[in-house]
Amino acid sequence: MALPRGLGLLLLLALGGPGAAITIPPEFLQPPELTEQPPEQLVVFPSDDVVLKCAATGNPPVQYRWTREDQPFIPGEHPGVTVAPGKGTLVINASLARRLQGRYRCFAANALGTALSLEARVIAENTPQWPKEKVMPVEVEEGDPVVLACDPPKSAVPPKIYWLNSRIVHIAQDARVSMGQDGFLYFANALAGDSHSDYICHAHYLGPRTIIQKEPLDLRVAPSNSVQSRRPRLVVPQNPQPPHVALRGGTLVLECIAEGLPTPVVRWQRLNGPLPRGRASLENFNKTLRLRAVEEADDGEYECVAENSQGQARHSHLVTVEAAPYWVRRPQSGVFGPGETARLDCLVEGKPRPRVAWRLNGVPIEEAPGAGRWAVREGALVLSRLEPNDTLVAQCEAHNRHGRLLANAFVYVVELPVKILTPDETLYTVVENQTVFLHCRAFGAPAPTVEWLTPGLEPALQDDRAFVFTNGTLRLGPAARGDGGPFTCRAHNAHSNASVVAHLDVKAATWIEVPPQSVTAKKGETVTFRCVAAFDPGLAPRGLEWRWDGRLLRETADSDKYSLTGDTLTVAGVDYADQGTFSCRAWTLLDAVEAEAQLRVVGRPGPVRDLQVLEVGERQVRLTWTPGDEHNSPVEKFVVEEEEGIFTPGRFVERLTVPGEQPWAPLTLSPYGRYRFRVLAANAYGRGEPSAPSAPISTPPAAPERNPGGVKGEGNETNNLVITWQPLAPGEWNAAEVRYRVQWRALEPALGRWREETVGGPPVVVGGTPTFSPYEIRVQAVNDAGKGPEPPIIVGYSGEDLPLVYPENVGVEILNSTSVRVRWSLAGGPRDLRGHLRGFRVLYWREGWVGERARRQAPPAPPGGHPRVLTVPGEASGVLLGGLRPWSRYRLQVVVFNGRGDGPPSDEIRFDTPEGVPGPPEELHVERVGETTLALEWKRPQHPNGILTGFLLQYRQVNQTEGGLPYEISFPAGTLNTTLGRLAPRGRYRFALRALTRLGPGPALLRQGSLLPEPVLPVLGSVVVGEVGEDFTVLHWTLAHPQANIEFEVQYMSKTTAEEPWRTSGRANSSLGLYRLGDLRPGTSYRVQFVGRNHSGERVAFWESEVQTNGTLVPSPAGGFATEGWFIGFVSAVVLLLLLLLILCFIKRSKGGKYSVKDKEDTQVDSEARPMKDETFGEYSDGEEKASGSSGRSLGAAGAALGSDDSLAGYGGSADVQFNEDGSFIGQYSGARGTAAGSSGPASPSAAPPLD
Q: What is the pLDDT of residues 867-921, one digit of tens each?
A: 999 999 999 999 999 999 999 999 999 999 999 999 999 999 999 999 999 999 9
| Nearest in space to 777 (alpha carbons), one of 749, 800, 746 | 746
Q: Dump strand ranges (E) for 684-773.
A: 686-687, 697-699, 709-714, 720-726, 739-746, 755-759, 764-767
What pLDDT is stored for residue 1143 in this prediction? 81
Q: How far apart are the C-alpha atoms of 1199 and 367, rounded to whole Å?
A: 152
Q: How far apart are the C-alpha atoms of 888 and 881, rounded to whole Å?
A: 14
What pLDDT is stored for residue 1097 in this prediction? 66
Q: How far apart are the C-alpha atoms of 758 and 781, rounded to whole Å?
A: 9
The answer to whether residues 955 and 965 touch, using CB atoms and an 8 Å cutoff, is no
Peptide bond into 478 cis (omega under 30): yes
Residue 165, amino acid:
N
Burial class (CB in 10 A: 0-12, 13-18, 19+), 579: buried
What pLDDT is stored for residue 401 in this prediction? 93
Bridge partners of residue 925, in order along the sequence: 937
Q: How far is CA 93 from the centre of its chain?
A: 71
Q: How far apart are the C-alpha atoms of 1097 and 166, rounded to whole Å?
A: 95
The answer to whether residues 346 and 329 touch, using CB atoms and an 8 Å cutoff, is yes
Reduce the DSSP state of residue 996 to 3 states and report it. Answer: strand
Q: How far apart are the C-alpha atoms of 659 and 667, rounded to whole Å?
A: 15
| Nearest in space to 4 (alpha carbons), one of 24, 34, 33 | 24
Residue 441, amino acid:
R
The answer to whether residues 52 and 42 touch, using CB atoms and an 8 Å cutoff, is yes
* 3-class DSSP string for 191-235: CHHHCEEEEEEEEEECCCCEEEECCCEEEEEECCCCCCCEEEEEE
For the question of whether the overall pTM of this predicted structure is more than 0.85, the answer is: no
- Residues in the chain predicted with pLDDT less than 70, given as ranges, are 1-28, 853-864, 960-964, 1013-1015, 1058, 1095-1097, 1111-1128, 1148-1252
Other C-beta atoms within 10 Å of 506: how many? 23
**Residues 6 or more apart in contact with residue 1103 via CB below 8 angstroms:** 1020, 1023, 1089, 1090, 1116
| Nearest in space to 485 (alpha carbons), one of 509, 463, 462, 501 | 501
| Nearest in space to 207 (alpha carbons), one of 93, 126, 105 | 126
Q: How far apart are the C-alpha atoms of 1211 and 1204, rounded to whole Å?
A: 11
The answer to whether residues 195 and 165 touch, using CB atoms and an 8 Å cutoff, is no
Helix H or strand E encompassing 1127: helix 1125-1150
The answer to whether residues 806 and 895 touch, using CB atoms and an 8 Å cutoff, is yes
Helix H or strand E encompassing 1148: helix 1125-1150
Burial class (CB in 10 A: 0-12, 13-18, 19+), 288: buried
The answer to whether residues 598 and 518 touch, using CB atoms and an 8 Å cutoff, is yes
The answer to whether residues 268 and 302 touch, using CB atoms and an 8 Å cutoff, is yes
DSSP letter for each residue of 535-583: --TT--SEEEEEEETTEEP--BTTB-SEEEETTEEEE-S--GGG-EEEE
